[in-house]
Structure 1
Amino acid sequence: MRKRMVNINDCSIGDKVALDVISDTGATIVTEGTLLNEFIINKLKQLGIKQIHIYANESSYLSQKEIYFEQFTKKYTQNVDTIKNLIGDLASGKKLDYTTITSISEDIKKEINEKDNIIKFLSTLKAYDQYTYNHSMNVAFYSMLLGKWLKLPDEIITELTKAAVMHDLGKAKIPDEILNKKGPLNKDEFEIMKKHAQYGYEIAKQDTRVNIEVLKGILMHHEREDGTGYPLKLKGDKINLFAKIISICDVYDALTQERVYKGRMTPFDAFKMIELDGYTKFDTAILLTFLQNIASYYIGMQVVLNDGRVGEVVYITPKNVAYPIIKVGDELIDLMNKKDLKIVSLLN
């Protein structure tokens, strides 16, 4: 798809941004793939942005996007089924098929430049009946993207993606009645579930091709910065980088995906919940990078408000990602200043 640089005064509503628009301070203002609207164009002018890159042929882009989604969905479903079979094999006592893990990770990594499509796909995915297996895929996608946003070297992102695919392998050793319980776990059940991190580490370390950083990522993905995590109650710098990344993506996906016993949260409610105590539980710099980057991909999405009206997310302030600006008809609604209104669902 051909890109061209245009003066901000020559941009039109509906133009698609071809490269992330970055401020002088390094913050992402508008992400690649965003459809320009009147609000965003005016905001860019106010911020002193003179030129941006847009796609030259939007109709062609949309056609390619439809083809991409069809292909992506097919490959995603195949890999979820593969993970399901792999965990089933582990539960029956077979050894880890690391070659298959590598293949799934490579499929995920191939999509590293499709940030807009991946995030919108995962945000509207409905597959709670296979939550455990979808969750492994989703966390791997989010972790891969977060690694890119953190500007990690390509070879490190490759290993990070493998760790994320494998982060919940230990659930193969958790009894089905706990793993598939249609409701919250009680205290005793949760203590058993917590062992999955250690089990996953033990499964993966049996294959000598799995490097130590990947193993640590699997073992430590439930550790927390303040020492309240498990299984080792580690703090701060004692926690492996992969685990710091995976832990954030793990929680975000768990909040925003449907389960048999609960509906999904909107991304914006998830942002609020994560921010409540996330800055003590997670690495602050990594958490901020995740929130500020992922939030921007919801610009342009159609949403339903709690009063029944349908609107469009037209802007998200990097410092207030949980409270976007919504356009309903000709009205602009800043949810930061309208606490009686909230987004209850996404439409696309």
Structure 2
Amino acid sequence: MPSISVAEIRPGSKVSKDVITPLGGMLFVKGKILLPRDMEILEAFLIQQVDIEGSEEDAQAMEPSKTPSKGAVKAGSVITASALAKSGSQLHEEYDHMLALIKKCYSSADAAVLPIYELRSGLEAMLAHIKDYHVLDFSPRTLNEQDYIYHNAVLSALTSYKIAQWCGYPQKEWLQVAFAGLLHDIGNAKIDSSIMQKPQPLTMTERNEVRKHTTYGYQILRKVTAINEGVRLAALQHHEKIDGSGYPLRLRGSQIHLYAKIVAVADIFHAMTLKRIYKKAQSPYLVLEEIQKEGFGQLEPSIVQTFIHKTTELHNGTKIRLNDGRNGEIIFSDRSNPTRPLVSVEGKIINLVHSRHLYIQEILT
């Protein structure tokens, strides 16, 4: 099982030992048959030598077709580009129904009891299609800047449900966590619409008023049956930080309810990736990097780590657009740098870990 210089390796050679990146990520597993494109990937990761199985004659005998397989680079991929492209028309139908329902709830939240059973029915109908929801890819059919808060509510419900699943929390909790995501900002119903829709930066007085939405939300939900206390506390605590720097009560760590910690991650992601009246939508990949930074000291690290790992589990071959406008595709995701995979653009392989000025602007379907 000789260790051979990458420059001397021929396509068709079989890897006899796992190939690890300089940062400790798994590049190729033992037994992988190297394809022509894999040579470029090895060079992009600055791999100098690889352990190859058998003799040169054996390697030649195993040489496959020169056409690389999109699925060969990474085992265990969870979603294909075609699956993304087909992403649930029925999900969009239920999403639109949920959007209209939550909008109606906001308009009457301060004057009437929330129609919780109607909300539950709509939520269950939407979550029945959760397999068609991918956090980085899903886009509502219509996006109106004025409706940002309602889109944030429905998207946070979907994403919070996913996070609860990914983190392995009991299944009986999943629907309640989705409720927490859906209703976390319901207190904004009591904030003057002129403040909520203001295109200019808010004054200190206005910012303080907006911060009251957490306590307003808890007050609204306190009289609602069929939801648990975690849903109410998520409305109150989703802006708390585990280092005590959040609001309204400057709670720390275990003082913050689990639902609030989940919703905080979902809310930040959608708040930054949705277009708003006063702010452009940001790249979901840059937002994930920002969330990763906040995971140290402000957000629950285990939730952040799981969220980033799962959302970036895209199939190799997924079409993307870079921030410089060029289109390409993901060819390898290094789990040590999940937001910065190797991409193929105009016949050239780019390692986004090394090309920091570039990043994925959006996923194309």
What TM-score comes out, normalization by structure 1 length? Answer: 0.78
User: Take 2:73 and 2:321, find their aligned partners in 1: how far apart are those partners?
Assistant: 24
In structure 2, the residue corresponding to 1:42 is in which secondary structure? coil
In the alignment, which residue of structure 2 is the partner of 1:248?
A: 265
1:303 is paired with a residue whose SS is strand
Taking structure 2 as the reference length, the TM-score comes to 0.75
- Structure 1 pair 186–297 and aligned structure 2 pair: CA distance change class (3 A): farther
139, 143, 148: which is aligned to 2:160?
A: 143
Shift of 1:251: 0.2
1:241-271: CA deviation from partner (whole Å, max 9, x where unpaired)? 0000000010011111111222211111102
Q: Which structure would you say has the larger Rg? A: 2
> Which residue type is aligned with residue 110 of structure 1?
A
- Of 160, 165, 190, the residue aligned with 2:177 is 160
Q: Which of 253, 259, 262 is residue 236 of structure 1 equivalent to?
A: 253
For 1:97, the equivalent position in structure 2 comes to 115
Task: Give the secondary-structure state (helix, strand or coil) at the position aligned to 1:41.
Answer: coil
Residues 74-102 of structure 1: CA deviation (Å, up to 9, x unaligned): 221121011111110124x1222211221
Give, in angstroms, the shift of residue 217 of structure 1: 1.7
Deviation at 1:65, TM superposition (A): 6.7
Paired position in structure 2 for 1:316: 333
Q: Structure 1 125/335 Cα, relative in aligned 2: closer, same or farther at 3 Å?
A: farther
Kindly tell me: are residues 184 and 299 of structure 1, through their superposed partners in 2, closer, same or farther at Cα, counting changes over 3 Å? farther
Bigger shift: residues 183-192 or 280-289: 183-192
Instruction: Check the 8 A contact 2:241/2:251 in 1, yes or no.
Output: yes
Question: Are residues 217 and 308 of structure 1, via their aligned partners in 2, closer, same or farther at CA, if it must alter by over 3 Å?
Answer: closer
Cα pair 2:116 2:224 within 8 Å, conserved? yes
Secondary structure, aligned partner of 1:113: helix
Q: Please tell me whether residue 110 in structure 1 is matched to residue 128 in structure 2.
A: yes
Q: 1:175 aligns with which of 166, 176, 192?
A: 192
Give distance in 2, aligned partners of 1:183 and 1:251: 20
**1:216 equivalent in structure 2:** 233
What residue in structure 2 maps to residue 74 of structure 1? Answer: 93
Any conservation in 2 of the 1:40–1:314 contact (CA below 8 Å)? no
Equivalent of 1:278 in 291, 295, 305: 295
Aligned partners of 1:266 and 1:346 also within 8 Å: no
**What is the CA-CA distance between 1:108 and the residue it aligns to?**
3.4
- Structure whose residues are more often helix by fraction: 1
In structure 2, do the counterparts of structure 1 residues 299 and 126 end up closer, same or farther at CA, with 3 Å as the change threshold? Answer: farther
Supply the distance in 2 between the matched residues of 1:73 and 1:105 (Cα, whole angstroms). 13
**Post-superposition shift, 1:135?**
0.6
**Higher relative contact order at CA 8 Å, sep ≥6: structure 1 or structure 2?**
2
Q: 1:124 Cα deviation (Å)?
A: 8.7
Aligned AA (1:41)? A
**Are the counterparts in 2 of residues 123 and 256 from structure 1 also a CA contact under 8 Å?**
no
CA distance in 1, matches of 2:267, 2:162: 13
Q: Which residue of 2 aligns with 1:49?
A: none
SS of 1:262's equivalent in the other structure is coil
* Kept in 1: contact 2:153–2:184 (CA 8 A): yes
Q: What is the root-mean-square deviation of aligned Cα atoms in Å? A: 3.0
Matched, 1:293 2:310: yes
* Structure-1 separation of matches of 2:352 and 2:85: 30
Match of 2:353 in 1: 336
Unaligned runs of 5+ in 1: 1-6, 10-36, 45-51
Alignment partners' CA distance in 2, 1:227 and 1:168: 21
Q: Percent identity?
A: 27
